[in-house]
Amino acid sequence: KQEVTQIPAALSVPEGENLVLNCSFTDSAIYNLQWFRQDPGKGLTSLLLIQSSQREQTSGRLNASLDKSSGRSTLYIAASQPGDSATYLCAPESGGSNYKLTFGKGTLLTVNP
């Protein structure tokens, strides 16, 4: 059974800082891994998707890396802004016919102006 751990659970930084969110997962037999953003009381917004054959993906100020063999992924946010404040969720997707996402508890990010 896949288990996902995200560290830290919460993070508060001043605006402009670069930061790293960490994700580890126990079963490396994944199809891909996604990072999502969740605002309070809202659904999920997909930020980045890394296929299992890839090492990283970039979108704007976001960069996600994947080390499948060691069961780790990181999300790097450059030049953080108050609008980045949200909960960030990591979710590896299992392969095969099920294609299930397993979510971590998330990292609650607060960027202070």
Stretch of 12-20, 21-29, 33-41, 75-83 lying at the interface with other proteins (CB under 8 A): 33-41
Identify whether the C-beta of residue 94 lies closer than 8 Å to the C-beta of residue 25.
Answer: no
Q: Which two tokens stand for residue 58?
A: 């970039």
- How many positions of this chain bind other proteins (CB under 8 A)? 21
Q: Which residues contact 41 (CB under 8 A, 6 or more apart)?
A: none
Residue 43 touches other proteins, criterion: CB under 8 A: yes
**Of the candidates 28, 30, 25, which has an alpha carbon nearest to the alpha carbon of residue 105?**
25
Rounded to a whole number of angstroms, the minimum distance from the CB of residue 84 to other proteins is 19
- Under the rule (CB under 8 A), what is the footprint of other proteins? 4, 32, 34, 36, 41-46, 49, 89, 98-106
